Amino acid sequence: MNALTLPIADGWTIARRNALKIRRSPDMLGGVIMLPVVLVLLFAYVFGSAIHVPGMSYREFLLPGIFVQAVIMSAQITGYTLTLDLQKGIFDRFRSLPMAPSAVLIGQTVSDLLMNLAGLVVMAAMGLIVGWRVHTSPGEAVLGFGLLLLFAYAFSWVTATVALALRTPESFNNIATMVSFPLVFVSNAFLDSSKLPAPLRVVAEWNPVSTFTQAARELFGNTSAALKTSDAWPIRHAVPASLLWIAALLIVFVPLATRLYKKAVSS
């Protein structure tokens, strides 16, 4: 095999290993699937009656934001799993095998992408039950889910980088929680960002979570002419801006995570 196909083949082998591990640990998959259900029910029924969105149902406004939040939270499994494997010495075994250094990370991110897919399917089903609807063509809806999965894959490389830098599950969980909550809540995921105070509004408009949420709303048709749209470029051009974010995250964090992995297994 050449230098390109070897990491892919080895990565697929690791992905299969991780998939078997998930089958033996159904609590992990259950958490990924149950979390979206809880989020949809909580926000739809607890906050849905208290928040008004001009020209549309709050539940339709909400679901794309819930999709993005669930993707971010599920992608953290990549980092947490890597820290556990570091502690258990699994990487030492991999180091003795004739495999590409990036294969472990490719396999981990691919297997977690499959879990994200399962979570999105369950969440979309729950959304349909509580009143969410897609108002665009089937092709645009598929593009919407595809964009969310690409974001999940790119963001999993971010969490892998953080995990390999911190190396312990406790440290990773603390940092991931501290970063993910402001990232999600200072955005347009759950409310109209134009209602935020000026400094927070600027942060929300340039927050990647807002960009992906707006892109999902446009591709699913969960928008309203009565709803004020920000003049910020990432919101006005949400789909191309989301693709730029995905490319930037992969370009930066794939080589960075691979470098940190090599350092972790050589120390």
What is the model's pTM? 0.88
Query: In this predicted structure, what is the pLDDT of residue 1?
Result: 47
Asked if residue 117 lies in contact with residue 111, where contact means CB atoms within 8 angstroms, the answer is: no
Backbone angles phi, psi at 34, to 5 degrees: -75, -30
Distance CA 34, CA 28 (A): 10
Asked if residue 38 has pLDDT above 50, the reply is: yes
Asked if residue 97 has pLDDT above 50, the reply is: yes
Give the N- to C-terminal CA distance of the chain in Å, as an integer: 28
Asked if residue 2 has pLDDT above 70, the reply is: no
What is 78-126 written as a DSSP string?
HHHHHHHHHHHTHHHHHHTSS--TTHHHHHHHHHHHHHHHHHHHHHHHH
Distance CA 32, CA 232 (A): 33
What is 229-244 written as a DSSP string?
---SHHHHTHHHHHHH
Please give the mean pLDDT across all residues of the chain.
83
Number of H-type helices and E-type strands within the chain: 11, 0
Q: Which two tokens stand for residue 153?
A: 């894959």
Domain that holds residue 260: 5-266
Distance CA 23, CA 125 (A): 22
Distance CA 67, CA 15 (A): 24
pLDDT tens profile 132-179: 999 999 999 999 999 999 999 999 999 999 999 988 888 888 898 888
Give how many domains the chain has, as a whole number.
1
- The alpha carbon torsion through 134, 153, 93, 162 (nearest 10 deg) reads -120
pLDDT tens profile 54-72: 888 888 998 999 999 888 8
Residue 224, Cβ density class (10 Å: 0-12 exposed, 13-18 middle, ≥19 buried): middle
Least confident of 36-40, 188-192, 259-263: 36-40
Distance CA 7, CA 104 (A): 9
Asked if residue 10 has pLDDT above 90, the reply is: no
Distance CA 52, CA 33 (A): 28
Least confident of 27-36, 85-94, 216-225, 258-267: 27-36
